[in-house]
Amino acid sequence: MRIGIIGGGAVGLLIAGYLGQSFDVTLIVRRESQARSLINKGVTIHKKGSTINTRVRAVNQIETDHEFDLGIVAVKGYDLFSLEETLVHFGAERPLMFVQNGIGHIEWVKSLPHKHLIAGSVEHGAMKENDNTVHHLGEAGTNIALIRGNWGVMEEVVSQSVLSFPFSIQPDFGNMLLTKLFVNVCINPLTALTGVTNGKLVENQYFHHLQRDVFGELMLLFPHMEEVISFDKIADICRNTYLNKSSMLKDIESGRETEIESILGVLLDKAEEEHHFVPNMNVLYRLVKGIEREGLGG
């Protein structure tokens, strides 16, 4: 099976490194230099003192005659909208899986002509070291759910990856993505602003109290999620990924654009439309946007 993975960041490298052990994987990346590095060296995954190296193909653009049986889109949410032409090369009959944080991208995904669309929620902790190396910091799994269409070849991927890179099929993509969103909102902005690892959020009573307040505001926006996720679950994730730096903290440290719009911006729009008072989320959003602007040169 031929799998095309768009995005050579931490998540793209992690998925390629594991799936490439069983399938013909091509990484589609922006820079020619990264493509050359991947072709020459493969993907290297460091995990718990061991090293895995996987040979992969790599290109820095989609060629019209390049065909894949499955596409996995692993770029940040704000980069999705420039990919429409690229995704056309996968063909409307080929399933596409999207693994972005937040929920702001879903309506755009639904607007694509592709018949089979899959939402993914990657729970693993991953940190990119360089163009071909990633550290697998927290072992978890990847939840997937159909947005529309059918699973097709994704069923084969699930069955053959059960040990190396497990997937868990979920019945409702909306609740699945909202669960991940709750986790992101309660962790990412706070770590980005404080500079601490995930575990410190539950260890420090002041950070933890603010987490609980933010969780309460999320429940105002999505009351049905009370039956899906608890605050204790958020705390457990923080403890289980104690030494992990969130993706938003790493973006801030590197002076890169964050995913604050798709994680918090869309929620503030919803709160305003529905007349909900969410002061903590407002403050977190504005502080991250301000720091992001300074890091991007004002």
Distance CA 123, CA 143 (A): 8
Rg, C-alpha atoms of the chain? 19
Distance CA(70)–CA(94), nearest Å, equals 6
Report the relative pairing of strands 24-28 and 167-169 from DSSP bridges: unpaired
Using alpha carbons only, give the angle 247, 249, 251 rounded to the nearest 5 degrees: 70
Answer for the pair 40, 106: CB distance below 8 angstroms, yes or no. Answer: no
Say which of 115, 180, 200, 270 is annotated catalytic.
Answer: 180
Q: Label residues 209-235 b or e (16+ Cβ within 10 Å = b).
A: ebbeebbebbeebbeebeeebebeebb
Alpha-carbon gap, residue 139 to 125, rounded angstroms? 7
Q: Are 199 and 243 in contact (CB under 8 A)?
A: yes
SS3 248: helix
Q: Residue 245 catalytic?
A: no
The secondary element (H helix, E strand) that includes residue 37 is: helix 32-41
Residue 207 to residues 169, 186, 263, 287: CA-CA distances in angstroms? 33, 10, 19, 15
* Positions marked active-site: 180
